[in-house]
Amino acid sequence: MDKIKKVLIVDDEDDITLFMSHFLMRFDVENDVAKDGEAALSFLKNNSYSCVFLDLNLGAGISGFDILKSIKIDKPETAVIIISGSYAEHETMNMGADYFLTKPIDLFELKKAMKHFQLVCLNYPK
């Protein structure tokens, strides 16, 4: 069984990134955290990720939508799970996102996303 190599969490809210990081570490998933769009693009340029957990609203500057577009152009093999309080599920799925979690994140939904994340990132048999 393959192991998830690395995940990037992109969110400007400290409580979300801390929660997500600890949750993923419980599954032995190595992760990096970017607090804004510029940091996210830098991480993506310099690292390979199996999956990106991506907030859409990152404050001023580069948005989650911009990052999603960049990932789908430069690293289309990278799965993207949107984590957002906005209701842009249809739009982001049309842009290539693989899964959508609405904030506040429900633990049951996060576990469901993790299952989907494993299928997308590791191509486990269905």
CA atoms within 13 A on the CB side of 47: 20
The model's confidence at residue 24, banded by pLDDT at 50, 70 and 90, is: confident
Residue range 7-122, CATH number: 3.40.50.2300
pLDDT greater at residue 18 or residue 122 = 18
How many angstroms separate the Cα of 87 from the Cα of each of 33, 74, 90, 103, 107?
Answer: 23, 26, 8, 10, 19
Q: How many helices (H) and strands (E) does the chain have?
A: 5, 5
Residues 59-73 have a mean pLDDT of: 94
Is the pLDDT confidence value at 113 over 70?
yes
CA distance 125 to 85: 31
Is the pLDDT confidence value at 40 over 90?
yes
pLDDT greater at residue 45 or residue 122 = 45
Give me the residue label for tokens 């929660």: 19
| Extents of the domains making up the chain | 7-122
